Amino acid sequence: MPERTVTVTDNHSGKSIELPVREPTLGPAAVDIGRFFRELGYFTYDPGFLSTASCHSRLTYLDGAEGKLLYRGYPIEQLAEHSNFLEVAYLMLYGELPDAEQLTSFRNIITHHTMLNEALKDFFRGFYHDAHPMAIMVGVVGSLSAFYHDSTDIGNPQHREIAAHRLIAKMPSIAAASYKHSIGEPQVYPDNRLSYTGNLLNMMFSVPCEEYHVDPVAEKALDLIFILHIDHEQNASTSTVRLAGSSGANPFACIASGIAALWGPAHGGANEAVLDMLREIGDARNIPAFLARAKDRKDPFRLMGFGHRVYKNYDPRARIIRRMCHEVLAKLGDENDPLFELALRLEEIALKDDYFIERKLYPNVDFYSGLIYRALGIPANMFTVMFAIARTVGWVAQWMEMIGEENQRIGRPRQLYTGPSTRDYVTLDRR
């Protein structure tokens, strides 16, 4: 096929330029505007990146109109049904599913990097007793570069790999320690006999004075939720990690910046916000009043867990998680949980409402994940932390992909300046 191009004509100067089109494996092609400013003297303007591809990537593909999500080409539904978190993590980092030996070796490496440096304990003690676990995570993950100098030479692929392993392995330990600090209980060391999610549950819920058994239903449910949250192409937190990483910042600092971006309620903080919203609605009879508020432009209230920048169809992860919600509540919690019933009713009413239909607003993954976490006994302030643990795999894989590229350059967006034009300083006595 001949190379596609797009011709852009400046109607002001009459000058035309022909821009090459970069072809994808799937999805829309992208016009390469790298020469745009040099040749036409204009920047392009696209706040919120509605039409702008910030990079090329071989990791994740999502089709928002179809409601389709692929990790390295594999449909999320197949990975959710047949795979497990560490196997998918390997797939994301190395590009292919591991064979049995590779998987065993990867599991061993991750398992043997789960302990935290003892000095890190003092960091946790420095946080106020009721600090949000996400606030603790941002700080502690950022501090890891002070402990692991030996893996911060980002020009060395081996260092990058060790840093990736450390981050994936230590994130559950940091998350659990953040939680333990927030409830005043002693930190629990990782146990190498347990699975990735079993270990996390043990570190969160066991105490030194009692025996604790990991519930296999909880362990499996968490593993599945983690698979669904591993990566989601160039979302806000991933783009933050890439931008921070493009300057050559160390991987621990980059992932800390991703955690900070994830915390926002329009992103990973939505799962916590959904439960707050359901509690606020309280009763199915109040749904119409809250829907009216969500539709009112003057009211900042939005239906949390609804809508997505890319999905204009049912979020495929929400479909999987919705099914799991029934199973988990039946086995561990209460299938008649009033909040779950309220969520189902709210979804049903919103999906029939013209406002939501016209804008293609469907439930996203966060609409149901909080209900599952609640059934697993995970408190609301840990919901986004759970998301961060899983997403660390995506962040790290995206960071490795970017740093490993030839001609990798610092990310430096342009701007449309709308402030005052040049003016002279006025001394204080004349203002």
Positions that interact with ligand ACO (CB under 6 A):
266-268, 270, 294, 302-309, 359, 361, 364-366
Closest residue to bound ligand ACO by CB? 307
**Closer CB to ligand ACO, 214 or 365, in the complex:** 365
Distance CA 337, CA 330 (A): 10
**Closer CB to ligand ACO, 124 or 387, in the complex:** 387
- State the nearest-atom distance from the C-beta of 329 to ligand ACO, in Å: 21
User: Closest Cα partner for 250 from 166, 176, 170?
Assistant: 166
- State the nearest-atom distance from the C-beta of 171 to ligand ACO, in Å: 18
How many helices (H) and strands (E) the chain has is answered by 18, 6
- State the nearest-atom distance from the C-beta of 304 to ligand ACO, in Å: 5
- State the nearest-atom distance from the C-beta of 409 to ligand ACO, in Å: 28
Decide: helix, strand or coil at residue 22: strand
**DSSP assignment, residue 363?**
B
5: left (phi over 0), alpha (psi -120 to 50) or beta: beta
Distance CA 221, CA 201 (A): 11
**Closer CB to ligand ACO, 309 or 345, in the complex:** 309
Distance CA 274, CA 304 (A): 5
Contact 259, 137 (CB under 8 A): yes
First to last CA, the chain: 66
**Closer CB to ligand ACO, 195 or 369, in the complex:** 369
Distance CA 399, CA 85 (A): 19
- State the nearest-atom distance from the C-beta of 315 to ligand ACO, in Å: 7
**Closer CB to ligand ACO, 68 or 267, in the complex:** 267
- Active site annotation includes 296: no
Residues 8, 14, 15, 17: what is their CA dihedral angle, to the nearest 10 degrees?
20
- Active site annotation includes 112: no
**C-alpha angle 236-242-246 in degrees, rounded to nearest 5:** 145
Classify residue 184 by burial, with Cβ atoms within 10 Å: 0-12, 13-18, 19+: exposed
Structure-block tokens of residue 359: 């804008």
**Closer CB to ligand ACO, 329 or 388, in the complex:** 388
Contact 138, 256 (CB under 8 A): yes
Catalytic residue (one of 165, 223, 308, 315): 308
Catalytic residue (one of 354, 366, 424, 429): 366
- State the nearest-atom distance from the C-beta of 305 to ligand ACO, in Å: 5
Q: Which residues are designated catalytic?
A: 308, 366
